[in-house]
Structure 1
Amino acid sequence: MKKEFAVIGLGRFGGSICRTLSEEGAEVLAIDVDEDRVNEFANIVSHAVVADTTDEAVLKSLGIRNFDHVIVAIGDNIQASILTTIMLKELGVKHITVKAQNDYHEKVLSKIGADTVVHPERDMGRRLAHNLLSNNVLDYLELSEEHSIVEIAANRNIAGYSLIELDIRAKYGINIVAIKRNNEIIVSPQATEVIKAGDILIVIGADVDIDRFEKKVLGE
């Protein structure tokens, strides 16, 4: 059975989610108070409706509790976002993901029971800052406030050495979980795997350890 998603709020963030889920073949109900936005997605998603999700009777009429996952992507109206999340929780929705506008909003959402809180503007800012500050960091995904997964380009400083020779885990407390090499991805590489110039290392670990590795080993 296909998973069923409901996306509330069809701005840039919610609209992007709708498009991607639909392209992947998922059943998507798109909801917004703005009729023009709803009409824009009418031919993209499975169903698109104009509705005020701060009204519990409206949510019930949409059968919202039957959806596997509801994403609250309401734009600037923090009150509507909070009220919608509370009602979804009370109606027994299985999984609720909510977009936060700021840190205070994020704290409130966590307290009222949102399963996942995303902060796209802040997270994208952090991601871009990491990429701008380093010649080696190609991509950055925050796992928590202190841990990340990072794509790092291998340079001449480590090319030609095996993982066991570099002993990165023991020296820096980070793990190379995969290596991208041309069109190949080497998952859980063996200790004898030799790094080649141009390899992209998928590294997981504490931010401070990743930063230390990058500066001491890869710094040119």
Structure 2
Amino acid sequence: MKQFAVIGLGTFGCQVCRTLMEKGAEVIAIDADPKRVEAMKDEVTQTLCLDATDEEALAHSGVLDVDAVVVAMGERMEAAIVATSILKRLGAGQIIARAASSLYARILADVGADRTILIEEQMAAQVAQSLITPNVLEQMTLASGHSLVEMRPPRSMVGRRLGDLDIRRKYRVNIIAVKRRIPIISEEGESGFHEQVNDLPGPDDVLTQDDILVAVGQDEDIERLSAGK
């Protein structure tokens, strides 16, 4: 089982903790604020109330034994820099640090962060992208100018066969899977949905308005596909 430590229990840090726990990992949640620590005690494996800029306290916290440490102290960048430097000096595993700006990201990398996360810049880019391609629900950059996306089919494609749409030739985008929500009734009689994934979509598959297409291609081609042009 993978083990992680999260230092800083603001909104970002708490969500990282919850997601890691949902994925079956063990999580040590750390903050200097007793109220934040108390609020997370029932949601993680272990909580610790300590100052992450205290080298001795950090050395005895157990963070040196985990697979990765997330420094999520975005609102206290000076403390985040000190904590990252201490973690590196103590020999911690992978160090992932949240940065408030590009400048802080460079400083965090210089003092030992293996990876930095610029939440505000990334969210701003996602918001802008969602305005350009409103049908795109999720987007992951694979390389410069290329992405893997989850998107709803344009209205003009609903009710049509994939073979007739000829998406690969017209848009130079590959549809690698189609997700579909199937209505179900539980044993208790409650209605719900089951997500069915067709990872080998064929030419005879007909798209519905609730389908989610998993597609890969160049960003400009994905934009054209999203617009149905």
Please give the TM-score of this superposition, normalised by the length of structure 1.
0.82
One-letter code aligned to 1:212:
R
> 1:214: Cα distance to partner?
2.7
**1:65-104 Cα deviation digits (max 9, x unpaired):** 1111211100312122122222222323222221121122
Measure how far apart 1:10 and its partner are.
0.4
2:134·2:226 contact (CA, 8 Å) conserved in 1?
A: no
Deviation, structure 1 residue 41? 1.8
- After TM superposition, list the pairs within 5 Å mapping 1:1-220 onto structure 2: 2-143=1-142, 146-159=145-158, 160-163=160-163, 165-182=164-181, 183-190=195-202, 192-198=203-209, 199-215=211-227, 218-219=228-229
User: What stretches of structure 1 move > 4 A for 4+ residues in a row?
Assistant: 142-145
Q: Write the deviation string for residues 125-158 of structure 1: whole angstroms up to 9, x where unpaired.
A: 3323333444422333445563333222223533
For 1:15-74, what per-residue CA distance to the aligned partner results, in whole angstroms no more than 9, with x for missing partners? 122233334443221111112211222233222112122232222111321111211100
Following the alignment from structure 1 to structure 2, what is the Cα–Cα distance between the partners of residues 140 and 75?
24
CA distance in 2, matches of 1:169, 1:112: 46
Post-superposition offset of 1:121: 2.8
Contact 1:153 1:201 survives alignment (8 Å) = yes
SS class of match (2:156):
coil
Quickly say closer, same or farther: Cα 1:103–1:205, change in 2 above 3 A: farther
Unaligned stretches of 5+ residues in structure 1: none
Q: CA RMSD in A?
A: 2.5
Deviates more, 1:82-91 or 1:154-163: 154-163
- Quickly say closer, same or farther: Cα 1:23–1:177, change in 2 above 3 A: same
TM-superposition CA deviations, 1:178-198 (whole Å, max 9, x none): 1112332111434x3534132
Runs of 5+ unmatched residues, structure 2: 182-194
CA distance in 1, matches of 2:213, 2:171: 15
Please tell me the residue identity of whatever aligns with 1:152: M
Contact 2:151 2:212 in 1 (8 A): yes
The separation in 1 between residues aligned to 2:171 and 2:65, in whole angstroms, is 47
Q: Which amino acid aligns with 1:205?
A: G
The residue identity in structure 2 corresponding to 1:123 is Q
Q: TM-score, normalised by structure 2?
A: 0.79
Aligned residues: 214
Rounded to whole Å, the distance in 2 between the matches of 1:22 and 1:33 is: 21
CA distance in 2, matches of 1:117, 1:179: 33
